[in-house]
């Protein structure tokens, strides 16, 4: 195994006096607020969104659905877990009169009421549902939840190579505040 450093950015958005108007959901998509019985679905969507991505090299827990479930449990048990900043995206469609649903995006939020600082845990959209505005829809709904809770600012961390995610965060209003390095153990090349 070899140790590798991944460059990551801490990005932040100020919420004071920011008007957050959620973009309308694309046709067929809707956003479900947090409910405890959705925990396993959040975990599965997290796994399916991250498993082929750069972040799964840094955080191997994304590679396994059970580990994602443990991660979800750890998030919802944190004292600052904020249900209104935690959303699931779902795509509904009809075939021969029967309605089917595909869960396709997840975001979770933690809030520190003392510092009035929110933090986004993971935002992920399953590959077949990307580039339709679902990531942006999840972010807006999450940020509205933080705003309603009284947050002044919200932060997240993103891997520098993850250019699509950084473009999305900038579009919504996040700015890079500082660079951090995360060390991860990778299998050595033979």
Ligand X SMILES: CC(C)(COP(=O)(O)OP(=O)(O)OC[C@H]1O[C@@H](n2cnc3c(N)ncnc32)[C@H](O)[C@@H]1OP(=O)(O)O)[C@@H](O)C(=O)NCCC(=O)NCCS
Asked whether position 18 contacts ligand X by CB under 6 A, the answer is no
Q: Which is nearer to ligand X, 22 or 150 (CB)?
A: 22
Q: Which is nearer to ligand X, 17 or 69 (CB)?
A: 69
The per-residue b/e assignment along 41-55, b for 16 or more CB within 10 angstroms, e otherwise, is bbbbbbbbbbbebeb
| Footprint (CB under 6 A) of ligand X, residues 32-51 | 49-50
- CA 62 → CA 13, 14, 19, 37, 153, distances in Å? 26, 29, 33, 21, 27
Asked whether position 26 contacts ligand X by CB under 6 A, the answer is yes
Asked whether position 53 contacts ligand X by CB under 6 A, the answer is yes
| Footprint (CB under 6 A) of ligand X, residues 121-180 | 123-125, 130-136, 158, 162, 164-165, 167-168
Q: How many residues bind ligand X (CB under 6 A)?
A: 21
d(CA 75, CA 79): 9
Positions that interact with ligand X (CB under 6 A):
26, 49-50, 53, 55, 123-125, 130-136, 158, 162, 164-165, 167-168
């Amino acid at each position: 195994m070899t140790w590798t450093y991944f460059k990551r950015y801490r990005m932040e958005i100020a919420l004071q006096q920011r008007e957050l108007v959620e973009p309308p959901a694309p046709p067929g998509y809707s956003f479900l607020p947090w409910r405890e019985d959705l925990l396993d679905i959040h975990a599965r969507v997290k796994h399916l969104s991250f498993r082929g991505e750069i972040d799964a090299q840094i955080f191997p827990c994304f590679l396994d659905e059970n580990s994602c479930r443990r991660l979800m449990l750890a998030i919802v048990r944190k004292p600052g877990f904020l249900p209104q900043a935690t959303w699931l995206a779902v795509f509904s469609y009809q075939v021969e009169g029967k309605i089917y649903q595909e869960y396709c995006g997840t975001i979770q939020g933690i809030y520190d009421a003392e510092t009035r600082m929110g933090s986004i845990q993971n935002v992920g959209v399953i590959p077949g549902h990307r580039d339709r505005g679902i990531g942006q829809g999840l972010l807006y709904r999450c940020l509205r939840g933080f705003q309603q809770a009284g947050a002044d600012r919200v932060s997240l961390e993103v891997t520098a190579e993850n250019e699509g995610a950084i473009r999305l965060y900038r579009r919504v209003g996040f700015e890079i505040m500082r660079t951090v390095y995360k060390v991860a153990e990778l299998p050595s090349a033979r």
